[in-house]
Structure 1
């Protein structure tokens, strides 16, 4: 099996013109108008970040929707770019943007790839929310973002 090459990933604030590309990354947004509206609102609020190389590879949202704390409510990577550093690049950008602050996110207990990524990046489990998705608790994670050197 051949190793997947890392990509030359650029992270930038998503713009209104990027909405079709974000929808293309997100299978749920392709079929759910509420998800598309949420993406448009995140872009307008300047809380959505696009990861791209020659095309859109993923996106993430960083806001303060969790008890006024920095929170990543959504991180999405295209199937073909998974395992190639896209999620890690987005998370590094979010950590840089909240240097010194607590950074929270969550994942379903069943979402093992995200849980492995969070563990690798130094996030620690901080709580559990039952009854959002039947039989699949939402786990909350936290990391104190590093302060820049200097």
Structure 2
């Protein structure tokens, strides 16, 4: 497994993976901006793109992972955990946050297995499915 920062030449492959997962390429501009600002990480398994992560640092001056996407054929192999762990190691802020819908049981397990703790929730983003916020301190101090 290899984790690297995305380059402009990776854009189309990332967008294809994202489109495979959500059925549209509506996040292409967001992905392109993240690549341009060095806020997109890629994970490769045997030279194949297995997933990506996008983050920013505008969440109350803390690092926030806004998107983790793992290709279906690579899910349940620890790839999301590797991305989270890597992000916790390289985070430019002492606090690292992320979130997932209340209904996303698999992602809750990934966060908890990686030392993240629940930090709150936001209603009214997705009707009837609150967004659960997770937190970990730098070097695993959660």
TM-score scaled by structure 1?
0.86
Q: Which one has the largest radius of gyration? A: 1
Q: Does 1:11 align with 2:11?
A: no
Q: Is the 8 A contact 1:128 1:138 kept in 2?
A: yes
**CA positional deviation for 1:69:** 0.5
**CA positional deviation for 1:88:** 1.1
RMSD, matched Cα: 1.6
Q: Which moved more, 1:107-116 or 1:96-105?
A: 96-105
Could you tell me which residue of structure 1 aligns to residue 136 of structure 2? Answer: 143
Counterpart of 1:38 (choices 25, 30, 36) is 30
| Number of equivalenced pairs | 138
Secondary structure in 2 aligned to 1:116?
helix
Name segments (4+ residues, structure 1) moved above 2 Å: 27-30
**CA positional deviation for 1:30:** 5.3
TM-score scaled by structure 2?
0.91
Where in structure 1 are there 5+ consecutive unaligned residues?
1-8
Could you tell me which residue of structure 2 aligns to residue 21 of structure 1? Answer: 13
Where in structure 2 are there 5+ consecutive unaligned residues?
none
Q: Deviations over 1:26-72 (max 9, x none)?
A: 13565133x11100010011000000122100000121131121110
